[in-house]
Amino acid sequence: MVSLRTIYKSMLAIEQSEGAGARVRRSIGNMKMRNFDPFLMLDHFNVLPDAGFPHHPHLGQETITYITKGQMVHEDFNNHLSVLNPGDLQFMTAGKGIVHSEMPVKQEDLSNVVGMQLWVDLPNDLKESTPRYRDLRNDEIPIYQDDSVKVKVISGKVGNVESLKELAYTPMFYYHYQVKSGANFEQFVEPNFNTFLYILDGDLKINDKVYHQYDTLFFNMDGDTIKGEVPSGSKEADFVLIGGLKLNQNSIQHGPFVANSKERIMQGFYDYQLAQGPFSPLRTWETKISDGVDSKKLNKLLNVRDEL
């Protein structure tokens, strides 16, 4: 028997500045929702071609980046370099420490790069793991589709369509839904997963209330199903539905560093400032993209990478 989850809290994600000239709508990691175990942050970013996220450190968490418009290039101090196109995702495990850059590829039409970045907490016993990366390309992601609903099954199961991709060390699911006007959707969610929904575009009616673009809905863990509909006459709704295993652990976050003690946070900043320990590659590394990237420069960087 279906048991519907109720809504714990909802909020509008307000646009703010981040990085070097970037604009983000932050729905997790703000004063209204500091974290939503195991999730530490969700940013819906809109980046000007001359803006971006120059080199910066991470410690003790994982990031999942999803590009919906434009191109974003990524590099780190371990000489990993890759480019994300529309529909692509990258999963980065910061583990014991990493420094990386994320910059838009400047297009001829000077269009913005749009996407989302989700921070996921690492279980305490994996916080000191070796950094790792995985790119998931748009054409690798299975699609569930019927007459009124289309879902990119990034991780999890919708109907008879299942993705076995491991997104993070913390078990989770990630669905990108598009639902036509007047249609409804129904999605099973694991009972022990904290679950939220973020509306990219359009309107959704859930539990007799209508929500709008940039609204985030956080659900109670009191059921196993989320059900909603798009009001008749509204345009198609575009949203993500994401859930993760609740870790129930004591995690301390200070900026981009996450640990299970204040002492480990302090040690992380100390190591980063002195370029020692896990941050020792900083002694010799020089970023190639933090000052900006266009198509010509990107092609040159990719050719050099492929020759190595």
Model confidence over 66-86: pLDDT tens digits? Answer: 999 999 999 999 989 999 999
Residues in the annotated binding site for Fe cation: 56, 58, 100, 102
174-223 pLDDT tens trace = 999 999 999 999 999 999 999 999 999 999 999 999 999 999 999 999 99
Please state the pTM of the whole predicted model.
Answer: 0.94
Topology (CATH) of 141-249: Jelly Rolls (2.60.120)
Topology (CATH) of 11-140: Jelly Rolls (2.60.120)
**Residue 119: per-residue pLDDT:** 97
274-300 pLDDT tens trace = 999 999 999 999 999 988 888 888 888
Domains 11-140 and 141-249 equal at CATH topology level: yes
- Parallel, antiparallel or unpaired: strands 72-76 and 81-84: antiparallel
Residues in the annotated binding site: 56, 58, 100, 102
Question: Measured between alpha carbons, how far is residue 162 from residues 90, 154, 156, 157, 159 in Å?
Answer: 19, 9, 6, 4, 8
**Residue 20: per-residue pLDDT:** 67
All structural domains of the chain with their residue ranges: 11-140, 141-249
**Residue 59: per-residue pLDDT:** 97
Half-sphere exposure of 172 (CA within 13 A, CB side): 30
